Amino acid sequence: MPRATSPVRCSLLALAVLLFANVSLAEPPQTQPAATQPSQKDLEAAFTARFTNAVMSGQYTIGNNPPKSDKYTIVSVRKLKDDNWLFQARVQFGEKDVTIPMIIPVKWAGDTPVISVTNIGFPGLGSYTARVMIYGDQYAGTWQDNVHTTHSGHLWGKIEKAPTTQPAATK
């Protein structure tokens, strides 16, 4: 037997319908104008500024082992041609501590740069494949040693300006 609907329930339902109809007939809320996407030239200028005299300091893993510290001091960076950038970098990880010029491809996912190396050899360091996303003052990605293919993992950390050296005081 169907259950009778009370007048109160009908009144609440009617009120809800009227309120919904009133809301849907009202003018739509004002929206903020969409933020304009910076030009590629502006994005590349910001990338150059962020990475000139900067330190990438964080951690990396090898497989499921606990994270270890690593540090990359970027002396300078400049765009060469197409996706290739010249990084003058001091690389410190494990027992390695070398300063080398590196030509590194940087791809763009919208406004986000992604360091994208595939089977690239670095003098004194080996050959690697990596994808490292940069966002704000943070980086995160994956890496693989192409010589020891069982060596791979993740890396992440912060990007900060390197401390400036003070000129020697003169007397």
What is the value of pTM for the model shown?
0.71
What pLDDT sits at residue 34?
A: 61
Tokens found for residue 88: 């003058």
Query: What pLDDT is attached to residue 37?
Result: 84
In sequence order, what DSSP letters do the residues of the chain get, joined into one string? -PPPPPHHHHHHHHHHHHHHHHHHHSPPPP-PPPPPPPPHHHHHHHHHHHHTTEEEEEEE-STTSPPEEEEEEEEEEEE-STTEEEEEEEEEETTEEEEEEEEEEEEEETTEEEEEEEEEEETTTEEEEEEEEEETTEEEEEEEESSSTT-EEEEEEEEEEPPPPPPPPP-
Residue 10 has pLDDT above 90, yes or no: no
Give the residue with greater pLDDT, 9 vs 49: 49
Reported as a pLDDT band with limits 50, 70 and 90, residue 31 is low
As a whole number, mean pLDDT of residues 2-25 equals 44
Tens-digit pLDDT profile for residues 153-171: 999 999 999 887 644 444 4
Overall average pLDDT of the 122-133 stretch = 87
Pick the CATH number of 40-161 from 2.40.128.120, 3.40.50.11540, 3.90.76.10, 3.50.20.10: 2.40.128.120
What percent of the chain shows pLDDT beyond 90? Answer: 53
